[in-house]
Structure 1
Amino acid sequence: MAYIELRVFSWTIFVVFLLVNVATCQDALAPEAAGGRKSLVPAMFIFGDSLIDNGNNNNLPSFAKANYFPYGIDFDGGPTGRFSNGYTMVDEIAELLGLPLIPAHSGASGDQMHFGVNFASAAAGILDNTGRNFVGRIPFNQQIKNFENTLDEITDNLGAPDVAQALAKCLFFVGMGSNDYLNNYLMPNYDTKSRYNAQQYANLLVQQYNQQLTRLYSLGARKFVVGGVGLMGCIPSILAQSNSNVCSEEVNQLVLPFSNNVNSMLSNLNSNLPGSKFIYIDIKNMFQDLLTNYRRYGFSVINKGCCGIGKNRGQITCLPLQTPCPNRNQYIFWDAFHPTEAVNILFARKAFSGGPDVVYPINIQQLASL
């Protein structure tokens, strides 16, 4: 009983903090975050996969974990569960917003949750059965349910209208879809490819995605940042499956209908959900620009992981205690699947203040100011 009372007290403090921040924002003065910084939004809630997971799989019976060295080699505090040598994209976005780093749902408590929660899970997908080869993971539907359970605790004590007012000012970052291809459609032990062609599968995914985002809207979310999928045919894991050392156009074309469908979906949601604002980060365009102009951005290695084994260091991903490359800031890919911290920071900054070639209809900074 004491544990339950402590959690209720912690979440009550959390919601009171959000409501105070909302009032401050309406007075045209940004709320203060940790260390006296001024934040552009009260909080950020994060949903997604291993690209932005920061430790939610650590205690699951899962093969999709990154809570061991050399993951986190450049992160203050070492390995945390982030699939990177350092920052993820949402870490940098949080700092740009003036927020502290957002804690993982699995380990968050008390004051740690004042500025938001990260619900993302490695191997998770839009579809519940995506990523089952990794055993434990938290699909997007369950991530939404975890958020909903959090709200249940809040509304029991404070009432839904106040919570809705607070959540309307927060950012909701969603990045899903990559695993529905890499760890579902392209997996030989799934029958998905035999049941759907590329367009049919994209339609299935986005039909579900639409329902999931609408569900978050019904729970109070209004400001959405949706991250698109990248050039998956160019990651070391895919490159390692070919004799050529060039991106797989087949894989890139496979994913294209999904990206097109997501753009249409977000346009419809903006039109049909009153008070909502959905923006899209075009990760595909960012990657295309990076691979074309990598030297201009300070990179020198574009087709192999910094940490991994085999062809392109992508046949087996980064193993415990493996020695990674020393010049990590010059690599685009950290392991077989994920970008380095340098790329995550670059993309986050483009999404935060970039133009319509990479984020639209407005950027994150503009969304936060609404």
Structure 2
Amino acid sequence: MHSFVQVGRIPFNQQIKNFESTLDQITDNLGADAVADAIAHCIFFVGMGSNDYLNNYLMPNYNTRNEYNGEQFSDLLVQQYSRQLTSLYNLGARKFVISGVGSIACIPSILAQNMLTRCSPDVDNLVNPFNNKVKAMVNTLNTNLPRSKFIYVDIYRMFMDIINNPRLYGFSVIDRGCCGIGRNSGQITCLPFQTPCSNRDQYVFWDAFHPTAAVNVMLARKAFSGNTDVVFPMNIQQLAALDLKAN
């Protein structure tokens, strides 16, 4: 028998508190001005939302779906998201990369539950309002928070292009995970010591939920140097070149 330590997710609010605590410690050693200048040059990557749907709203043992319809839930998430990003700004962050939620209609976990069709558009009908509101939030934050720049990475658009044109990108398996158990290798996700597929670079999905490294590399390259159809109002390379002062 093997025993495993179950590590829970750290909520974003707690992550921000941890960051603030770390900043306090660094400031004691380096001084406030030096730390503020360094933080202003850092790029903060934040990707939120998928777990709020997959591990909350869509779970039958949560009451969230009875309390909020899709629009109300996306409003709630984005209102909190905006406050959290503003907190990071108030701690000195100036350059932000905000990642939208990719399509979850076609992930192996959803496919395993939905045997009639390949994908479940109802799931993405929940995600799309959230993504649209995050885009609007990015525009608002760029207007309201001086000496900062927020950019939005349209993961959904990039990912759907891969799903719809897999061979163009070098993929041959789009409907099951490289590592997992059951229908579509998506009923139980990849377990410790389980042997994955031997040709993972040909798979879009690594496990029941997550894309493979090959997909992530493609997404990252487009986010870094892509055009405004996938990352706006500028790409990460352009964001890195901006000189945004802390004060």
1:309 aligned partner: 181
Is residue 268 from structure 1 mapped to residue 140 from structure 2 by the alignment?
A: yes
2:35 aligned partner: 163
Q: Report the Cα distance in structure 2 between the residues aligned to 1:213 and 1:157, rounded to whole angstroms.
A: 26
Q: Report the Cα distance in structure 1 between the residues aligned to 2:54 and 2:93, rounded to whole angstroms.
A: 29
Q: Report the Cα distance in structure 1 between the residues aligned to 2:115 and 2:211, rounded to whole angstroms.
A: 22
1:177 aligned partner: 49
2:75 aligned partner: 203
Structure 2 runs not aligned, ≥5 long: 243-247
Letter in 2 for 1:263: K
Is residue 141 from structure 1 mapped to residue 13 from structure 2 by the alignment?
A: yes
Q: CA deviation at 1:60?
A: 6.2
Instruction: Map residues 272-291 of structure 1 onto 2, 5 A cutoff.
Output: 272-291=144-163
Q: Report the Cα distance in structure 2 between the residues aligned to 1:276 and 1:368, rounded to whole angstroms.
A: 12
Q: Report the Cα distance in structure 2 between the residues aligned to 1:60 and 1:263, rounded to whole angstroms.
A: 37
Letter in 2 for 1:259: N
C-alpha distance 60-227 of structure 1, shift in aligned 2 (>3 A): farther
Q: CA deviation at 1:267?
A: 0.3
SS at match of 2:60: coil
SS at match of 1:280: strand
Q: Report the Cα distance in structure 2 between the residues aligned to 1:60 and 1:363, rounded to whole angstroms.
A: 39
SS at match of 1:225: strand
1:242 aligned partner: 114
Q: Report the Cα distance in structure 1 between the residues aligned to 2:119 and 2:146, rounded to whole angstroms.
A: 41
Instruction: Map residues 95-106 of structure 1 onto 2, 5 A cutoff.
Output: none
Would the aligned equivalents of 1:172 and 1:221 in 2 still touch at CA under 8 Å?
yes
Q: Report the Cα distance in structure 2 between the residues aligned to 1:268 and 1:229, rounded to whole angstroms.
A: 19
1:10 aligned partner: none
Tell me: higher relative CO, structure 1 or 2? Use CA pairs within 8 A at least 6 residues apart: 2
Would the aligned equivalents of 1:225 and 1:279 in 2 still touch at CA under 8 Å?
yes
Would the aligned equivalents of 1:316 and 1:336 in 2 still touch at CA under 8 Å?
yes
Is residue 298 from structure 1 mapped to residue 161 from structure 2 by the alignment?
A: no
Is residue 187 from structure 1 mapped to residue 59 from structure 2 by the alignment?
A: yes
Q: CA deviation at 1:245?
A: 4.1
Q: Work out which of the residue numbers 225, 232, 235 in structure 2 matches 1:360.
A: 232
Would the aligned equivalents of 1:233 and 1:251 in 2 still touch at CA under 8 Å?
yes
Would the aligned equivalents of 1:231 and 1:288 in 2 still touch at CA under 8 Å?
yes
1:259 aligned partner: 131
Q: Work out which of the residue numbers 102, 113, 128 in structure 2 matches 1:230.
A: 102
SS at match of 1:302: strand
Q: Report the Cα distance in structure 2 between the residues aligned to 1:205 and 1:240, rounded to whole angstroms.
A: 27
- Deviation per residue, 1:216-248 (Å, 9 max, x gap): 000010000011100011110011101124111
Q: Report the Cα distance in structure 1 between the residues aligned to 2:228 and 2:54, rounded to whole angstroms.
A: 28
SS at match of 1:234: coil
Structure 1 runs not aligned, ≥5 long: 1-58, 63-135
Letter in 2 for 1:260: N
Would the aligned equivalents of 1:245 and 1:303 in 2 still touch at CA under 8 Å?
no
SS at match of 2:169: coil
TM-score between the two structures when normalised by the length of structure 2: 0.94
Q: Report the Cα distance in structure 2 between the residues aligned to 1:302 and 1:241, rounded to whole angstroms.
A: 16
Instruction: Map residues 26-175 of structure 1 onto 2, 5 A cutoff.
Output: 61-62=6-7, 136-175=8-47
Q: CA deviation at 1:157?
A: 3.0
Letter in 1 for 2:40: A
Is residue 329 from structure 1 mapped to residue 201 from structure 2 by the alignment?
A: yes
TM-score between the two structures when normalised by the length of structure 1: 0.63
SS at match of 2:16: helix
Letter in 2 for 1:225: V
SS at match of 1:211: helix
1:69 aligned partner: none
Q: CA deviation at 1:161?
A: 2.5
- Deviation per residue, 1:101-128 (Å, 9 max, x gap): xxxxxxxxxxxxxxxxxxxxxxxxxxxx
Letter in 2 for 1:362: M
Structure holding more helix per residue: 2
Q: CA deviation at 1:156?
A: 2.2
Q: Answer with 153-162 or 189-198: which moved more.
A: 153-162
Identity of matched residues, % = 69
1:114 aligned partner: none
Q: How many pairs align?
A: 239
Q: Report the Cα distance in structure 2 between the residues aligned to 1:326 and 1:309, rounded to whole angstroms.
A: 15
